Amino acid sequence: MYDRALASLPGGNTRTTVFMKPYPIYAARGEGCRVWDLDENEYIDCINNFTSLIHGHAHPALLEAAKRQLALGSAFGLPTESEIDLAELLASRLPAVDQVRFCNSGTEAVMMALKAARAFTGRSKIAKCEGAYHGSYDYAEVSLDPTPEAWGRNAPVSVAYARGTPDNVLADVITIPFNDAAAAVSLIREHGSELACVLVDPMPNRAGLVPADKAYLEALRSVTRDVGALLIFDEVITFRLGYRGAQGLWEIDPDLTTLGKIIGGGFPVGAVAGRKEFMAVFDPRHGKPALPHGGTFSANPVTMRAGLAAMELLDDAAFSRLDAMGNEVRTGIDEAFRQNGVPGRTVGLGSLLKVHFADRPIRDYRSAWLNEEETRRQAVFSRGLLNRGVLAAGYGLFALSTPMTDADVDAIITAASGALSEVAASL
């Protein structure tokens, strides 16, 4: 399959994130928390399409909602009731949200949130955290993966991610450190009068999946108010942490929130959400809005209906169960690290966890940076997991799903222990 793909797709690939050497395994089908590849190998899926499938694959309620809508039409050049239903549900869960604007991906949600902040404030610069991933918008991509040679001695510097990034994009992005309130506040104050917003993910996956200190987010909340910039929480992933997302757990109200992944019930989705006063930049009632926004498939009713079904299943009991499973897997893998005498541990919250092969405390992008030996251990672990029938992201991310049973949780821990014994044997 890969040989065939090489001719028609660059590198045989559509998503850099699913590339795997020597070649990827191809999914044939999925059901519940399981995936089968083209060779009929079975895996417990802990990738869940990079955290988006919180109910696993082909969940009957989501399938039914999507099928019912498909029979009525998959997209219209007209609004439908479905977008109002999902917007109302989201606004009812998030105290900081009055209104929602839908789009088709997290990338687009972040792009529209940054543009909304610019439109609202009339300012052009944004601040974001070093090492945090927010999708592919030029500005959001800055300083995603600076190597140690590029780390500034004191403050982080803005570094291009993609070749050809325009200099003016770099100049308009202030890179702040994650989880260092004093340094972040000082940079935000320094550029305050030009800043449209500060974009932060409360538990940034690529920067280590470490939960932000509450004091850090509170400091961002307070300084953004002082300088007149909007605070944007990117909850594309962290919305799966609880009924009110990360903002509910941390009890901090951002000005704008970006959503994606789980709110689409397995279909492409993104959303910008926030208070009426900020969301008014999208309002077309009085002529051209400050921020015009369309999108042929935005708020398509298949996504909206499946998303609504997915969200309705996520009540307090569902989140408690996901939290309990997450704690069990984290504790089990931590114990396996100790038993195998391998330095490392898990981090994360709720249904999300990440395995770190590091002896030091992980606080931010720089402390999460893997040295050569840690990278090697991570690769042995990843392959060991795969060979034991567990799919997790190559960089150690696990996302659990509601169809998992206690037996599945045990099987994940057993596979991780086996993979860690392989790492131990390789030391």
Whole-number minimum distance, CB 260 to ligand PMP, in Å? Answer: 5
| Contact partners, residue 163, CB within 8 Å, separation at least 6 | none
- The residue whose Cβ lies closest to ligand PMP is 106
Figure out which of the listed residues 236, 256, 358, 397 binds ligand PMP, where binding follows CB under 6 A. 236
Distance CA 91, CA 338 (A): 44
How many CA atoms does the CB half-sphere of 140 hold within 13 Å?
22
Closest distance to ligand PMP from the beta carbon of 206 (Å) = 8
Query: Crossing angle of helices 316-340/406-425, nearest 10°?
Result: 30
Query: Annotated catalytic, 261?
Result: yes
> Which 69-108 positions form the footprint of ligand PMP (CB under 6 A)?
105-107
**201 makes contact with ligand PMP (CB under 6 A):** yes
> SS in 3 state form for 195-221?
EEEEEECCCCCCCCCCCCCHHHHHHHH
Amino acid identity at 330: R
Active site residue 133: yes
* Residue 175, helix vs strand vs coil: strand
Separation of alpha carbons 390 and 382, rounded Å: 9
From the list 276, 265, 200, 205, the residue with the least C-alpha distance to 231 is: 200
Nearer to ligand PMP, 103 or 362 (CB): 103
Alpha-carbon distances of 341 from 330, 378, 379, 387, 426, rounded to whole Å: 17, 15, 18, 21, 12
How many residues line the site for ligand PMP (CB under 6 A)? 15
**Smallest gap from residue 235 Cβ to ligand PMP (A):** 8
Q: Which residue from 36, 50, 161, 243 is in contact with ligand PMP, where contact means CB under 6 A?
A: 50
Please list every residue from 131 through 190 that binds ligand PMP, using CB under 6 A: 133-135
Structure tokens at 296: 């042929």
- Judge contact between 281 and 196, C-beta under 8 A: no
Work out which of 260, 265, 307, 403 binds ligand PMP, going by CB under 6 A: 260
Comparing CA positions, the residue from 294, 310, 216 lying closest to residue 260 is: 310
Catalytic, out of 133, 137, 216, 365: 133
- Residue 130 as a binder of ligand PMP (CB under 6 A): the answer is no
Rounded distance between C-alpha atoms, residue 341 and residue 3, angstroms: 40
If the CB atoms of residues 206 and 321 are measured against ligand PMP, the closer one turns out to be 206
Of 132 and 227, the one with the shorter C-beta distance to ligand PMP is 132
The reply to whether 303 sits near ligand PMP by the rule CB under 6 A is no
The residue within the footprint of ligand PMP, chosen from 205, 224, 351, 417 (CB under 6 A), is 205
Q: At its nearest, how many Å lie between ligand PMP and the CB of residue 81?
A: 25
First to last CA, the chain: 35
Tokens 């190597």 sit on residue: 147
Catalytic residue among 180, 234, 364, 408: 234
Measured in degrees and rounded to the nearest 5, phi and psi for residue 266 equal 100, -5
Rounded to a whole number of angstroms, the minimum distance from the CB of residue 185 to ligand PMP is 22
For ligand PMP, the closer CB: 106 or 254 = 106
Report CA 53 to chain centroid distance, whole Å.
12
Q: Is the omega angle on the peptide bond into residue 10 within 30 degrees of 0, that is, cis?
A: no
Q: Can you read off the two tokens belonging to residue 242?
A: 């609880």
Q: Residue with structure tokens 């239903």?
A: 85
**CB 132 to ligand PMP: min, Å:** 7
Active site (annotated) includes residue 288: no
Which residue out of 139, 261, 354, 408 is catalytically annotated? 261
Least gap, CB of 353 to ligand PMP (angstroms): 15
| Catalytically active residues, by annotation | 133, 234, 261
Q: By the criterion CB under 6 A, which residues form the site for ligand PMP?
A: 50, 105-107, 110, 133-135, 201, 205, 234, 236-237, 260, 270
